Structure 1
Amino acid sequence: MIGVFAREQLAHRPAREMHNGAWIKHAETAARAEAIVAALPPLAPARDFGLGPILRVHAAEYVDFLRDAFALWQAAGREGDALPYVWPVVGRRPLKLSRIDALLGRFSFDAATPIAPGTWEAAYWGTQTALTALAPLLDGSVRTSFALCRPPGHHAGSDYFGGYCYLNSAAIAARAARDAGHARVAVVDIDYHHGNGTQDIFGADPSVFYASIHADPATDYPFYWGHADEAGEGAGAGTTLNLPLPRGTGITPYLAALDTALAALKTYDPSLLVVSFGADTFAGDPISGFALATADYPAVAARIASLSLPTLVVMEGGYATAELGDNVAAFLSGFA
């Protein structure tokens, strides 16, 4: 296995987020990535593949906005990090708006995801990290690789950010694998929270199967996506599988859900797998509610490895920073 990390990803350092009606310290900190780096063997630096693979997934006007948003915020005379406060929930249409407040609402879905001075740089290099880790899978030189992406990406859709996510590294890697000749690619999302952005990007695409095991959105973020009856649409009907689980879920029911997801993948028969891995399924995670232990993660990974597919592991969530490095190392050990 190889691992990849770009230190440019540490540039994203928002100060705070809005949570349950109050300002709190931002949970997605640079210390998360630093803890993972400290727990793993040396990771390779990322190469720069440019904007092309990003634009295969994200709308050009959204990418332009994300790149310029903080500068526009400052030009408007604002202090601190950029955050939206108004959203076009009804009657959305492609208006030509220039005020930063309008653009923030147009391209986002929550108030917990600030845009700070280094956000674009970090998100951009997160995608390059995933693409660098994908490259040796495409040429067959390795079977498993790990992309330490930060900030995470699976909540980001083609033209929106939210859930601490700005660019969807897992989706960008999956699309790049398709472009490289893999006829069918699968994404297995095992973050505590549903990857609404990835589902949205591939919901009508029969060439990418999306399976997610996550907290029931009836009680947990992101609430509006990830319900069991969401199975894809149009040509992609049947290539989305959502397996929501209740708070307090431990390893036995979790592995049962994973076996269901992997059985569906075997039927789909992909030639490459992307794993959106969130260590926020850990029992001690401060913003989540499952009950997995560090010792459980190798068994989860071993189940996935049993598919014997070229596999890219993309880092998503996990906010118990003190234990995060051990949890990631334990998960990756299951692919040995």
Structure 2
Amino acid sequence: MIVYFPPLHARHAPPCEIFRGERVPCFETPERAAIVHEALRQRGHALREPDRDSSPFLARVHTPPYLAFLETAWARWLALDADNAGRQPFPSVWPVRSLRSDVEPGNFIAQLGLYSFDNGTPISAGTWLAAKQAADAAVSAVACLGAGEVGVFSAGRPPGHHAGRDFMGGYCFLNHAAVAAEALREAGCRRVAILDVDYHHGNGTQSLFYDRADVLFVSIHGDPRSEYPFYLGHADETGSGAGAGFNLNLPLPAGSSVADWFSALDVALARIAGFRPEALVVSLGLDTYAGDPISRFALQAADFRQLGRCLRRQNLPTAFILEGGYAVAALGVNAAGVLDGFEESCPGGPA
């Protein structure tokens, strides 16, 4: 399979995050992508650098003020104090409920709160470059589908599915799955399905397409009553306006069995088949693995290969977008397992 791997991903390397009120080393690290890269290289997948510009599609997915903030945030942080080069900016106030969010404040930390929904998504010197090139990788993958590939993997980081039109969170800054869906629509696909299999609900992706009928969003994830991001991902969220009926959430209790997870996948794939999409985007979170440090499902390495087989049976051009997965040592094996399973029934795929 062709794999787009953005070499600038390692520019996003914040040293710490805030987790459960404490400053801890980041779970989302450059090592994640490096492990995936090496595992796929060893399996013989074709590794390429992104060769398409995602800017036109980023402008459709995110607001201009938000994009401008992300692109200039680190330079503005340094302009406040040269010593900030050794510090990380974190938001300390958010415009919730009765507070106004329609007026951008002049204060940098207040802007950081305006454009984020948590304080666990640290910005570093290379955040914009890494996130932008990951979006470029998603668009490059879509271009390969247009050239006749059955499946393509965009292996960028930081991940993207928690990022909304004008906010970041959950380690995510730009929504790469949404960018891929918009690129597929631009390429002529009348209907696109997005399947999110990350342990954590893709709240950003849902919010971006919630009122649209041309993009179906389906997500299998930990029940938001106990699992991050907590405030979206319930089963009664089915879309609004023109998008009514085009959003399907399949929340599962923490600790759900492999059998229950695959039962939910059957429901998800049946809904996708009924939608009759012309292409599929998979937000490939690998944090459903039993050994993941911040997630609580039970999938083993062999189950990721089975996931790949199930997705191939949909017989759709498929763009895989790397999302979460924090059991770093197992990440490459699990990513390779999905691609191997997908290619098993493809001509020339591995046995």
Separation in 2, partners of 1:81, 1:220: 26
Using the TM superposition, give the Cα deviation of residue 50 of structure 1 relative to its aligned residue in structure 2, in angstroms: 4.7
Indicate the residue corresponding to 2:347 in structure 1: none
What SS is found at the alignment partner of 1:280? coil
Indicate the residue corresponding to 2:316 in structure 1: 309
Indicate the residue corresponding to 1:37 in structure 2: 37
Task: Give 2:33's aligned amino acid.
Answer: A
Give the alignment's Cα RMSD to 1 decimal. Answer: 1.0
Using the TM superposition, give the Cα deviation of residue 48 of structure 1 relative to its aligned residue in structure 2, in angstroms: 3.6
Of 299, 318, 321, 1:292 maps to 299
Are 2:138 and 1:134 equivalent residues in the alignment? no
What SS is found at the alignment partner of 1:145? strand
Separation in 2, partners of 1:261, 1:88: 35
Indicate the residue corresponding to 1:11 in structure 2: 11
| Worse overlay, 41-50 or 174-183 | 41-50
C-alpha offsets along residues 77-123 of structure 1, whole Å, 9 cap, x if unaligned? Answer: 24412211100002333214221111101100000001100000000
Using the TM superposition, give the Cα deviation of residue 138 of structure 1 relative to its aligned residue in structure 2, in angstroms: 1.7
Task: Give 1:302's aligned amino acid.
Answer: R
Indicate the residue corresponding to 2:346 in structure 1: none
Indicate the residue corresponding to 1:109 in structure 2: 117
Separation in 2, partners of 1:292, 1:266: 24
Using the TM superposition, give the Cα deviation of residue 305 of structure 1 relative to its aligned residue in structure 2, in angstroms: 1.2
Separation in 1, partners of 2:56, 2:316: 26
Indicate the residue corresponding to 1:175 in structure 2: 182
Indicate the residue corresponding to 1:95 in structure 2: 103
Separation in 2, partners of 1:10, 1:53: 23
What SS is found at the alignment partner of 2:211? coil
What SS is found at the alignment partner of 1:123? helix
Indicate the residue corresponding to 1:192 in structure 2: 199
What SS is found at the alignment partner of 2:254? coil
Contact 2:54 2:139 in 1 (8 A): no
Give structure 1 regions of 4+ aligned residues with deviation exceeding 6 angstroms: none
Indicate the residue corresponding to 1:160 in structure 2: 167
Indicate the residue corresponding to 2:91 in structure 1: 84
Task: Give 1:66's aligned amino acid.
Answer: L
Any stretches of 5+ residues in structure 2 without a counterpart? 344-351
Are 2:54 and 1:47 equivalent residues in the alignment? no
C-alpha offsets along residues 152-198 of structure 1, whole Å, 9 cap, x if unaligned? Answer: 00000010000000000000010111111111000000000000000
Aligned residues: 335
Of 184, 198, 208, 1:201 maps to 208
Percent identity for Structure 1 against Structure 2? 46
Q: Please, what TM-score do these two structures have when normalized by structure 1?
A: 0.98
Indicate the residue corresponding to 2:20 in structure 1: 20
Indicate the residue corresponding to 2:150 in structure 1: 143
Are 2:127 and 1:123 equivalent residues in the alignment? no
Any stretches of 5+ residues in structure 1 without a counterpart? none
Of 72, 85, 98, 1:68 maps to 72
What SS is found at the alignment partner of 2:195? strand
Contact 2:162 2:204 in 1 (8 A): yes
Separation in 2, partners of 1:328, 1:56: 29
Indicate the residue corresponding to 1:256 in structure 2: 263
Task: Give 2:211's aligned amino acid.
Answer: A
